[in-house]
Amino acid sequence: MRRRKLAVAAGFCLSFFLGSLFNVLFIPAVFEQQQQQQSSEGRSDLARQIRERYQEVLRYQEHQAPTARQRLVRPLERRLMDLAPQQRAAAAGSEQPPKAERSKGFSSSPQAKIELSLQQPQLLGCRDIHNVTHVHYLGSGYTKAVYKAVLNRSLAVALKSVDFGGHDIENCVKLYAALGDCYRLASYKIVKEMILLQRLQHDNILQLYGYCYQDSNDIPDTLTTITELGSPLEMIQLLQTSWEDRFRICLSLVRLLHYLAHSPLGSMTLLDFRPRQFVIVDGELKVTDLDDASIEEASCASNSDCYMEFPARNFTLPCSVEGRCQSMNEKRNLYNAYRFFFTYLLPHSAPSSLRPLLDMIVNATGELHWGIDETVAQLERVLHLYKSGLYLLNTTRTPKYREVLEAAILEENYRCWPSYHHKGCLLSVFDVSEAIEVCESHSQCQAFVLINQTTWTGERCHWVIAAAIAKNPSYQPEKEVDFLKGLMSILR
Ligand SMILES: Nc1ncnc2c1ncn2[C@@H]1O[C@H](COP(=O)(O)OP(=O)(O)OP(=O)(O)O)[C@@H](O)[C@H]1O
């Protein structure tokens, strides 16, 4: 019995010794091998992503419809850099490059430089951005950094390039330790955006002025795009502006979505629709960030494949006989327009007679009852009612007001909200009758002046409370001041 116990103990010691010997001799080699395998998997993973993005860029440049396989894979790619390698592999499926491309090797096929055949003679390039002044940082997102700069001492533009300190590059370098390739991957987002800015021409899409490839940070051919300059969209600020200006933002947005739904490249959706993807140029909303735009409509076998998920609502769209989710791109844009813009901007402090129509627009888009054609038609209808004065309710006989020629009174000016001028009460009206109506509703209003200035609608006047048309027939302005002249120069 004792001998058996000794034999077991000896066996255990021997196996422990052999096991340790094995660990000492072989595990570092296995570990090294595993590391090598992981890093080569990482490199080929990165190369695959570069190749896929390059192919996407080429598709947009050549305007080819994606293959069925690409259609299935594409929506998952959007933020693949956020996922761990295993998740990425699972998300991307087992898609392999075609045999011919595999044998070519990935890294050599994608080209760093993609030139645009821009026709405009005024196309800007490297020469112009070497001579910039007044450069200052405007903003940055996941991938890009944007600077304001003045070219040739005259034209203010936005310069956009890959942000070397941004999340996209940082996460990629952490994963793959390959700055050059990570730059290339990120830069295809700017290339894609540049191609789309060139191919899509609309008043509510930022204008591309040009681009420049130059060596930077030891990386050859880094890309900078030169575009129209806007100001970042601040929702809080927008909420403080007049209804007329907020309506203008919503109208610009539906006109843009209408164009995107019928774009020369096909129905296009903005996968990333947050307000920061837009800027304001002269009071109009314009889209600036197009790297997440997509024309691929999801394929389906049944309606349940056409499921759209939003934080507060889900929708199932019909699957067409051709196996496509019907109008999915258009409807995704519309619901996003509803949840990020319409609910906040459209109904609040609108003229009361327009409220029922505006509420109907908000409800119909929130339920996805309408497509973009109907939505844009309804907003254009609101514009027509508003600028033609048809929205004005027939008011009872207006009280008597006396006209005082060429007068303005600084002291009696007062502040109101929302005003186009912070020092006084400057509003927009359709005509004198509406001005009287507003003056009647403000207890401080003694008189008002109609300025010969129209708002963006082209037909409505600005109105300032000062003098000229006095509430009280015996009202005598004390001084004549040039307050109005000051206001007029501020306005335009
Ligand atoms: N032409 C422009 N004029 C003024 N500001 C701009 C312009 N283009 C972009 N911006 C600002 O720069 C920010 C970053 O630009 P952009 O959205 O293209 O970068 P991104 O890395 O793609 O961001 P995201 O993570 O949102 O996708 C924007 O949120 C916007 O506020």
Q: Could you tell which of 53, 82, 138 is best to mutate to test the pocket of ligand 1, judged by most ligand atoms within 8 Å of the CB?
A: 138
Lowest mean pLDDT among 134-143, 376-385, 412-421: 412-421
Q: Which atom of ligand 1 is nearest to the CA of 288?
A: 8
**Which residues form the catalytic set?**
272
Instruction: Check residue 325 and give its pLDDT.
Output: 95
Per the prediction, the chain carries an average pLDDT of 79
Q: What is the mean pLDDT of residues 209-222?
A: 90
* CA distance readout (Å), 366 to 70, 287, 335, 375: 30, 22, 6, 11
411-437 tens-digit pLDDT:
667 788 888 877 778 888 888 788 888
Q: Tell me which DSSP letter residue 82 carries.
A: G
Q: Which of 80, 167, 276 to mutate to test the pocket of ligand 1 (most atoms within 8 A of CB)?
A: 276
Rounded to whole angstroms, how far apart are CA atoms 110 and 115? 13
Ligand 1 atom with minimal separation from the 163 CA = 21
Q: Which atom of ligand 1 is nearest to the CA of 228?
A: 1
User: Would you place residue 491 in the very low, low, confident or very high pLDDT band (cuts 50, 70, 90)?
Assistant: very low
DSSP summary character for residue 236: H
How far is the centre of ligand 1, averaged over its atoms, from the C-alpha of 87 (Å)? 28
8 A C-beta contact, residue 309 and residue 336: no
Residue holding tokens 């598709």? 59
Summarised one tens digit per residue, pLDDT across range 156-192 is 999 999 999 999 999 999 999 999 999 999 999 999 9
Among protein residues, the one whose CA lies closest to atom 11 of ligand 1: 139
Residue 48 has pLDDT above 70, yes or no: yes
Q: How far is the CA of 245 from the centre of ligand 1 (A)?
A: 22
* Nearest protein Cα to ligand 1, atom 29: 276
Higher pLDDT, 103 or 114: 114
pLDDT band at 198; cut points 50, 70, 90? very high
Q: How far is the CA of 100 from the centre of ligand 1 (A)?
A: 38
Give the position, in ligand 1's atom list, of the atom nearest the Cα of 274: 26
Ligand 1 mutation pick, 144, 159, 223, 291, max ligand atoms within 8 A of CB: 144
Answer yes or no: is pLDDT of 121 > 80: no
How confident is the model over 308-312, as a mean pLDDT? 93
- What letter represents residue 332's amino acid? R
| Spatial contact of 358 and 347, defined as CB atoms under 8 Å apart | yes
The CA 277 to ligand 1 mean position distance, Å, reads 6
| Per-residue confidence (pLDDT) for residue 464, from 0 to 100 | 47
Task: Report the atom number in ligand 1 closest to the C-alpha of 140.
Answer: 14
Predicted confidence at residue 313, as pLDDT, reads 93
Give the tens place of pLDDT for each residue, 10-36.
554 444 454 554 455 555 555 456 555
Distance 140 CA to ligand 1 centre (A): 6
For domain 235-387, the CATH superfamily is: Transferase(Phosphotransferase) domain 1 (1.10.510.10)
Higher pLDDT, 179 or 94: 179
Does the structure show a pLDDT above 50 at 262?
yes
DSSP letter string, 267-329: S-EES---GGGEEEETTEEEE---TTEE-PPPB-SSGGG-EEE-SS-EEEPPBPTTSBBTTHH
pLDDT of residue 19: 52
Amino acid 106: pLDDT: 36
Residue 237 tokens read as 């600020």
Q: Cis before residue 418, ω within 30 degrees of 0?
A: yes
CA–centroid distance for 289 within its chain: 5
Specify whether the CB–CB gap between 150 and 132 falls below 8 A. yes
Residue 370's pLDDT is 97
Which tens digit of pLDDT belongs to each residue from 317-333?
999 999 999 999 999 99
What CATH architecture applies to the domain 126-231? 2-Layer Sandwich (3.30)
If one residue of 78, 140, 146 were mutated to test the ligand 1 pocket, choosing by the most ligand atoms within 8 A of its CB, it would be 146
> For the residues 206-217, what does the mean pLDDT come to?
92
Ligand 1 atom at minimum distance from 143 CA: 21
Residue ranges lining ligand 1, Cβ < 6 Å? 138-144, 146, 158, 206, 227-230, 232, 272, 276-277, 279, 288-289, 291
How far, in Å, is the centroid of ligand 1 from the Cα of 207?
Answer: 14
Atom of ligand 1 nearest to the CA of 232: 31
Q: pLDDT of 469-483, one tens digit each?
A: 555 555 555 444 344
Confidence band of 390 (pLDDT split at 50, 70, 90): confident
Whole-number pLDDT of residue 389: 84
Q: How many whole angstroms from 92 Cα to the centroid of ligand 1?
A: 27
Among candidate residues 96, 106, 80, the one with its CA nearest the CA of residue 175? 80
Q: What is the pLDDT of residue 396?
A: 58
- Residue to mutate, 124, 140, 190, 238, ligand 1, most ligand atoms under 8 Å from C-beta: 140
| Predicted pLDDT at 109 | 64
d(CA 249, ligand 1 centre) in Å = 18
Q: How confident is the model at residue 402 (pLDDT cuts 50, 70, 90)?
A: confident
Ligand 1: distance of its center to the CA of 469 in Å? 46
Q: Which of 77-91, 347-361, 440-454 has the highest mean pLDDT?
A: 347-361
- Whether 81 has a pLDDT exceeding 50, the answer reads no
Q: Give the position, in ligand 1's atom list, of the atom nearest the Cα of 142.
A: 25
Q: What is the mean pLDDT of residues 361-385?
A: 97
What are the tens digits of pLDDT across the range 358-372?
999 999 999 999 999
- Report the nearest-CA residue for atom 20 of ligand 1: 141
Which pair of tokens denotes residue 336? 């996003």
For the chain, how long is the longest CA-to-CA vector?
128
Rounded distance from Cα 306 to ligand 1 centre (Å)? 30
> Which residue has the CA at smallest separation from atom 18 of ligand 1?
289
Predicted pLDDT of residue 434:
84
